[in-house]
Structure 1
């Protein structure tokens, strides 16, 4: 059993952490697909809802950057625990004062606190993965992380909400209260059951302020790290921007209003599966090759095709297939999480902070592009911008090269497995 765990999850400690993150993110993602509609149904405008999520996205980006640096200074477990406490605080005030009042001045700050919470917990754990996993298995290790992360947010949390709201008809606010159960259980699994796993003082000898500044100065000292952060920001920007204008475009092209939810479900289902697969493929084919050709170029092509399939009023099956392929290529950015710490082996936390900041900014950036350009260039123009950004990311990846340690050959691995069995 120990050999199986080590082969799949690198170590038993990381295995518990992975499952803890998945359950935590299931609680974090409960309201992902229904909160904006709920707020608008209760008197808020689209602009007000957009403002809420813009501020939320900024908080996610800020917290994402701090997660890696703080993990280096204070240790992974402390940072993850702080994320848990912030989630409790934000949830309490959001659910007690924000949602019941439908008051923008209560909702924005309280929901923003929730935005600070999950990056500290999830991305803090990603720093732990960067230190714990052997270099030759790092691509697979980060692939498992994104598989668990996305599975929690896009699958478990979303499906749980759907069942509670539409089958058991539980009130929305009560469903959100149950998120505390998920995050508590996830924290217990990730922190309490693996208490000796997450290094409690990774870089305790470093001065806090100077190392915090290192999270910024590394952008100048390591230009490749900067490029990697930009690529990560581009990664999911289109995926986050699509829900802002694609549903309306589908209705304008005479598709049923339920088509978008069906299409986006399969997009993320395929993405979740390939988050794991591309990590393994990256260890074999090369991390940069996978990100550049499959991630950047693949997403550029499928983003373009997806839009014009809608314009040509293709069948729902065709739209679903193209969106699923886009979800597959979207996951091909996973090896970037293995590349970044290798670009700065002595400052992995700072490098991961830039990666995490890019991940957080991706949410804000994707929404901001639509808000800024949709009225002037229309849906087609926004698609061209997203497509162009993916091609820019492919160009940047030419320079983000890193010496990658290779796994043993397949023949050698089979030979060793036979010897272990005998």
Structure 2
């Protein structure tokens, strides 16, 4: 028990570090189908619009769960919320496999896959709220970066390489059943190590209801938190939409296989994990949170979206060219990591509410991304959709201009007064 309650070499409590391990394992199970499910369903009779609708429904539920994860954690504590996420995921997964995937029954797929969307936001984002409370301010961006490294490591890295290796051995349905094992193990580890300490809890029902609504009211009271939520939506929108349509595009136009795509996708997130630990450190020490999100994250991802689109046109079916693009895209995506620390710093006494907005933004991206694909791919094609996503990233860079910290505002005001006095 002392090992769990003590502190690691990073300065973080050991329980937080074990929570990262739990997050990684849980997200492996959640991510085993993300890279291949849409092409698989389309090959078995669904239209691309039906597949997009499936992911849109999933994203809508995920967005709701992402919002409530922060305020529910403050109201009831992280352990209860994490347990609820684990149970809802398991129910959705089993029903989806048994009644939807096996029989290719779209009527069953839609509600059961949507139910599954409650799972990881309630489990992982409630843990992230706890991390923001337990971590010292001086290493906050690093602590959040470690969370996202674990999150993406499970969802995208192991969640891509494991299927690429196991699909020929156990098949698609067998792979989905193996996800249950990953989630149960990660879920149990997380619930055992995470405590309900460190968070100021609301006592009576009135206070809990106020906490649930605080994620909405804080956007009015502190508009910069709302801007941060919008940027968080943009953060995952373009990258979250890629598995829905881009593997099909690479396959039909350039002959890339599903296994090749999964390796590109997985390698992208390997690079992301490595630099998830480096870029937040640089951001904390030198570049600053706002500049990192503005230039590295937002502007950089806009550029890399277009690079990924046009690389096959210049290099054809060149696996290593796509791997290289994936590596750089994964690195640049790390520029969004300080956003959580930036937004919560705007409301130091309402971190759970601020996190609710950030988490809701993360969830909404998985609703908006497939909705954009379903609505526009038949009209403007793959190229048009990719330009839409690139444009959203560039918009995020513009919005970050308004995300100044209180200290920066005071400094700017002092500079303005000094200039006025000397003129």
Which interval holds the TM-score relative to the shorter structure? 0.7 to 0.9
Give the secondary structure class of the aligned counterpart of 1:312. helix
Q: Deviations over 1:176-215 (max 9, x none)?
A: 22322222221222221x2546557633366122221111
Counterpart CA distance in 1 for 2:381 and 2:48 is 18
Per the alignment, residue 323 of structure 1 pairs with 326
**1:166-315 → structure 2 map (5 Å cutoff):** 166=168, 169-192=169-192, 194-196=193-195, 199=198, 202-204=201-203, 207-251=207-251, 253-257=253-257, 259-285=260-286, 286-313=288-315, 315=318
Query: Structure 1: any 5+ residue segments left out of the alignment?
Result: 406-422
- Whether the 8 Å contact between 2:56 and 2:368 is mirrored in structure 1 is no
Give the secondary structure class of the aligned counterpart of 2:118. helix
- Deviation of 1:361 after TM superposition, in Å, equals 1.2
Q: Normalising by the residue count of structure 2, what TM-score does the alignment of the two structures yield?
A: 0.87
Query: Structure 2: any 5+ residue segments left out of the alignment?
Result: 409-423
- Deviation of 1:255 after TM superposition, in Å, equals 4.6
Per the alignment, residue 379 of structure 1 pairs with 382
Counterpart CA distance in 2 for 1:87 and 1:355 is 21
Over the aligned positions, Cα root-mean-square deviation in angstroms equals 2.5
Q: In the superposition, relative to structure 1, how do residues 38 and 302 fare at CA in structure 2: closer, same or farther (>3 Å)?
A: closer
Per the alignment, residue 61 of structure 1 pairs with 63
Per the alignment, residue 398 of structure 2 pairs with 395
- Deviation of 1:108 after TM superposition, in Å, equals 1.2
Counterpart CA distance in 1 for 2:388 and 2:42 is 28
Counterpart CA distance in 2 for 1:357 and 1:89 is 23
- Deviation of 1:278 after TM superposition, in Å, equals 1.9
- Deviation of 1:404 after TM superposition, in Å, equals 7.8
- Deviation of 1:248 after TM superposition, in Å, equals 4.2
Q: In the superposition, relative to structure 1, how do residues 84 and 280 fare at CA in structure 2: closer, same or farther (>3 Å)?
A: same
Counterpart CA distance in 2 for 1:83 and 1:144 is 21
Counterpart CA distance in 2 for 1:387 and 1:37 is 23
Q: Deviations over 1:22-80 (max 9, x none)?
A: 11111111222233344344443333222211111111111111100111111111111
Stretch of structure 1 that moved more, 330-339 or 169-178:
169-178
Per the alignment, residue 337 of structure 2 pairs with 334
Q: Deviations over 1:136-192 (max 9, x none)?
A: 1100000000000111111223333333322xx224333322322222221222221
Matched residue count:
402
Q: Normalising by the residue count of structure 1, what TM-score does the alignment of the two structures yield?
A: 0.88
Residue in structure 2 matching 1:145, options 144, 147, 154: 147
Q: In the superposition, relative to structure 1, how do residues 263 and 155 fare at CA in structure 2: closer, same or farther (>3 Å)?
A: closer
Q: In the superposition, relative to structure 1, how do residues 384 and 42 fare at CA in structure 2: closer, same or farther (>3 Å)?
A: closer
Per the alignment, residue 410 of structure 1 pairs with none
Give the secondary structure class of the aligned counterpart of 1:8. coil
Residue in structure 2 matching 1:358, options 351, 361, 364: 361
Q: In the superposition, relative to structure 1, how do residues 115 and 220 fare at CA in structure 2: closer, same or farther (>3 Å)?
A: same
